[in-house]
Amino acid sequence: MSRIRIEIHGIVQGVGFRPFLHRLARRLNLTGWARNIPAGVELELEGPGQALEAFRTALTREAPPLAVVEEVLVTPLAGSAGYTDFAIRPSAGTGGDTLICPDLAPCPACLRELADPTDRRYRYPFINCTDCGPRFSIVRDLPYDRARTSMAGFVMCPDCDAEYHDIESRRYHAQPNCCPVCGPRAFFLDAQGKEQPGDPIALAQAALAAGQIVAVKGTGGIHLACDAGNDEAVLRLRRRKNRPDKPLAVLCRDLDAVCRLCLVSEAEADLLESPRRPIVLLQKRNPAPDPLSANDRLGVMLPYTPLHILLADTSAGGPDTLVMTSANLSGCPVMVDNQEALRGLAGVADGFLLHDRPIQNRCDDSLVGLWEGQLCFYRRSRGYVPQPVTLPWDLTGLVAMGAEQKASFAVGRGHHAFPSQHIGDLKNAETLDHYRTALDRYLTLFGVWPAAFVCDLHPDFFSTREAEARVGALPLLRVQHHWAHMAACMADNNLEGKAFGILWDGTGLGTDGTIWGGEFLTGDYNDFERRGSIRPILLPGGDAATVEIGRIALSLLTDAGLDPGDAPLPSAKVRAVAAMLRQSALCPRASSMGRLFDGLYALIAGCGKTSYEGQGPALLEAMVRPGEPGRYYPVAFALADGLRVFDTRPLVRGVVADLHRGISHAAIARGILDTLCRMAVNQCAVLNREKYPVVLSGGVFFNRYLLTGITRRLRRAGFPVLTHHRVSPGDEGLCLGQLAIAAARLPRKGEQDVSCRSAEDPLH
Ligand SMILES: [Zn+2]
Ligand SMILES: [Zn+2]
């Protein structure tokens, strides 16, 4: 007989780890106990040496699907403690040491029961167990038990209660455990909100098959669904939702249905089928624009709840591929409440498939893709949050407020950074409200007492104002936007020391009071230096130009000394905007790569307006066709105040000349992207002679052609290149950089002499 103590570090809380340990110990006839500790899980085991060895092996090999075992520390103990059974003990340490599991798709065992006519949960849309089901979306408070979740109102029936207390059951200590007798129920309502008699799933399927639009309540929010194969229905949905162009995501019944629409690699199939069930961005089989997506890619997911599985199951007929788009009013967060949906979607939805389990935490679908075999995030939300990102520094008490348009925040505890779910644009009052509620919820759930706040340098961002409202006497750091992007990519890769950042995005306030967005910085978490940028673009009418991108085209033409008549604007508008530019009144300057893309796209496509942020860069990328001959436009730089600035004018002249010459749009688009890649590498060669690792961040790097082109060229030139893989390169991931900078800049406990900057003293 031997006795050992094991400490397991990693993501081992809130993922069914202790019940797993319990079952494992029983199987191997080991006695002892397990409990959560701040660092993970601790246990003591007693039994024959061979069985203990088997336990250690199985620990990592058989761990629950979402557990991440990072470290296992084993200490031999002297003598026997005389344990007679295996017990789960109360958590050690103060509250808030636990992690909460993301919402997970049904596990194989639950799927078997769902399809088994003899099972008491046959076709039950809320089936779950310790390995699967809703988690984050139903938690209100800690500790995580039923009374503090959406399941509080559903009292377990004797059968469910027996499972809950039976260690041999898959539902041992499964907080959302339920069945048709005691659990939530689904129902179908017509357009007037009147409940319809009959099987709600069958009613919804019939409505979808008839081309109707159905609101479907999922895990973290309500979707609008329609038959993706019915163009008329899709266009009607676009019209009613006022979403003319932005690509729509689809939910496919199974992998076969996905493969009919898209090309799917093995790794992409794994991602689609993972219990996190994100929307995966895939290459369309037919790259031509269609009602679902105007570019060559499509976001696809597999059903992520039992309800969606039943809905997309076409054994009884009906469509097996459904458009699934968040149900929200323009600019507002996704709806979560039944009454809100019935009111807000009147005239939009023809029917409602809802249920009576409340959603505590609003959480949109995640959007991911694979790049060079690595995961990259476009939106890190359902299935991933609220799992932390582990960083090498102590982050305790740090609260990072993020940016504004693609807002998300992060709170720190120990080495864990907890980035929030996707929030949205804070300029919308409801979204700001959601941001505040979600922040309060995170602070509660993770037991974080704020010690310092960190926000963007922009004084008018609602996230900045929120920081100011909350900070009180605590330190507040204001961090320049692109420095935060750079730090985010460094932290994403656990990089210490200095880096060279290529930070390209839409807009962020610079330290000189102008708008930046085509930046080349050198720095670390303590400080940075702006080394290079691009020639500023005048934005006639400010924000109006980000929607009416024809104005940016006109600005580029004027700057390059070309005929303003080439701008895709009505002639009266051309005169008005040209006058604005001459007086440079109401024309903020932006050295922004995102705006350059908008302007160039407007010139090529002859399109004066966009309907969603990032449309220009995305569609310019989509214009490139494989096999097109390459071409380069001139790359010129100017030195101004020590800053090496890319001159956009020769590029604009080259593009306009090619347009007049009738060169194909595909060739011009590729030429622009290749030229910008060459420009980036040239800047790096000149400005990064120290050969610091290069980090690429900012929303422009959603453009894969650029990401690939710059990465490959830089590596060929001998530079180590790091990209994002744990958070998004866009503004959503920026809070991670703010957190890392705050960890470096703020005084830690026990250090007195580090100067603490007041709220009035911006960092840069
Ligand atoms: Zn299950
Ligand atoms: Zn029950």
- Closest-approaching ligand to the CA atom of 127: 1
Q: Is the pLDDT of residue 450 over 70?
A: yes
Q: Give 736-762 pLDDT, tens digit per residue.
A: 999 999 999 987 554 433 333 333 433
CA of 129 to the centre of ligand 1 (A): 4
CA of 28 to the centre of ligand 1 (A): 23
Q: Is the pLDDT of residue 151 over 90?
A: yes
Mean pLDDT of the 286-309 span: 94
Share of the chain above pLDDT 70, in %: 97
CA of 310 to the centre of ligand 2 (A): 20
CA of 171 to the centre of ligand 1 (A): 8
Per the prediction, the chain carries an average pLDDT of 92
pLDDT category of residue 330 using cuts at 50, 70 and 90: confident
Structure tokens, 444? 């509660």
CA of 181 to the centre of ligand 2 (A): 5
CA of 170 to the centre of ligand 2 (A): 14
Give the per-residue pLDDT at 97: 58
Fold of domain 186-355: DHBP synthase (3.90.870)
Fold of domain 2-88: Alpha-Beta Plaits (3.30.70)
CA of 20 to the centre of ligand 1 (A): 13
CA of 309 to the centre of ligand 2 (A): 21
CA of 159 to the centre of ligand 2 (A): 6
- Closest-approaching ligand to the CA atom of 157: 2
- Closest-approaching ligand to the CA atom of 155: 2
Burial 138-153, CB ≥16 within 10 A → b, else e = bbbebebebebbbbee
Structure tokens, 690? 């120290």
CA of 169 to the centre of ligand 1 (A): 11
CA of 175 to the centre of ligand 1 (A): 12
- Closest-approaching ligand to the CA atom of 179: 2
CA of 102 to the centre of ligand 1 (A): 14
CA of 124 to the centre of ligand 1 (A): 12
CA of 13 to the centre of ligand 1 (A): 17
DSSP string, 79-127: S-----SEEEPPPPSSS-----PPPBPPPHHHHHHHT-TTSTTTT-TT-
CA of 108 to the centre of ligand 1 (A): 7
* Higher local confidence (pLDDT), 99 or 266: 266
Q: Give 304-319 pLDDT, tens digit per residue.
A: 999 999 999 988 777 9
Q: Give 344-401 pLDDT, tens digit per residue.
A: 999 999 999 999 999 999 999 999 999 999 999 999 999 999 999 989 999 999 999 9
Report how far apart the first and last C-alpha atoms of the chain are (Å, whole number).
Answer: 63
- Closest-approaching ligand to the CA atom of 121: 2
- Closest-approaching ligand to the CA atom of 164: 2
42/36 Cα distance (integer angstroms):
6
CA of 109 to the centre of ligand 1 (A): 6
Structure tokens, 694? 């290069």
CA of 112 to the centre of ligand 1 (A): 9
Stretch (H or E) spanning 484: helix 481-492
CA of 20 to the centre of ligand 2 (A): 22
Domain residue extents for the chain: 2-88, 186-355, 531-695
Ramachandran region of residue 588, left (φ > 0), alpha (ψ -120 to 50) or beta? beta
CA of 165 to the centre of ligand 1 (A): 16
Give the per-residue pLDDT at 331: 83
Place of tokens 């066709």: 625
User: What pTM does this model have?
Assistant: 0.91
CA of 202 to the centre of ligand 2 (A): 23
Give the per-residue pLDDT at 748: 58
Give the per-residue pLDDT at 763: 38
CA of 328 to the centre of ligand 2 (A): 33
Q: Is the pLDDT of residue 188 over 60?
A: yes
pLDDT category of residue 100 using cuts at 50, 70 and 90: confident
Q: Give 680-712 pLDDT, tens digit per residue.
A: 999 999 999 999 999 999 999 999 999 999 999
CA of 177 to the centre of ligand 1 (A): 10
CA of 113 to the centre of ligand 1 (A): 9
Residue 500's DSSP bridge partners are: 522, 694
pLDDT category of residue 294 using cuts at 50, 70 and 90: confident
Mean pLDDT of the 121-135 span: 95
Give the per-residue pLDDT at 67: 83
* Higher local confidence (pLDDT), 570 or 13: 570
Structure tokens, 232? 């008329």
Q: Give 72-98 pLDDT, tens digit per residue.
A: 999 999 989 999 999 988 777 654 456
CA of 138 to the centre of ligand 1 (A): 16
CA of 399 to the centre of ligand 1 (A): 35
CA of 108 to the centre of ligand 2 (A): 20
CA of 178 to the centre of ligand 2 (A): 5
Angle (nearest 5°) at CA 284 between 283 and 288: 125
Residue 411's DSSP bridge partners are: 399, 418
Stretch (H or E) spanning 263: strand 262-263
Share of the chain above pLDDT 90, in %: 79
CA of 185 to the centre of ligand 2 (A): 12
Q: Is the pLDDT of residue 138 over 50?
A: yes
CA of 251 to the centre of ligand 1 (A): 21
CA of 533 to the centre of ligand 2 (A): 62
11/233 Cα distance (integer angstroms):
43
- Closest-approaching ligand to the CA atom of 182: 2
CB 213 within 8 A of CB 233: yes
Q: Is the pLDDT of residue 215 over 50?
A: yes
Structure tokens, 226? 């329609």
- Closest-approaching ligand to the CA atom of 107: 1
CA of 250 to the centre of ligand 2 (A): 33
Structure tokens, 338? 């039944």
Give the per-residue pLDDT at 98: 67
Mean pLDDT of the 542-559 span: 93
CA of 5 to the centre of ligand 2 (A): 38
- Closest-approaching ligand to the CA atom of 132: 1
- Closest-approaching ligand to the CA atom of 131: 1
- Closest-approaching ligand to the CA atom of 161: 2
Give the per-residue pLDDT at 586: 86
- Closest-approaching ligand to the CA atom of 183: 2
Place of tokens 């309502």: 189
Give the per-residue pLDDT at 754: 36
- Helix ranges (H only) for 189-277 are 200-209, 231-241, 255-261, 266-273
Give the per-residue pLDDT at 96: 47
Largest CA distance in the chain: 91
CA of 160 to the centre of ligand 1 (A): 14
CA of 154 to the centre of ligand 1 (A): 19
CA of 452 to the centre of ligand 2 (A): 46
Under CATH, which number does the domain 531-695 receive? 1.10.357.160
Q: Give 721-730 pLDDT, tens digit per residue.
A: 999 999 999 9
CB 367 within 8 A of CB 281: yes
CB 361 within 8 A of CB 220: yes
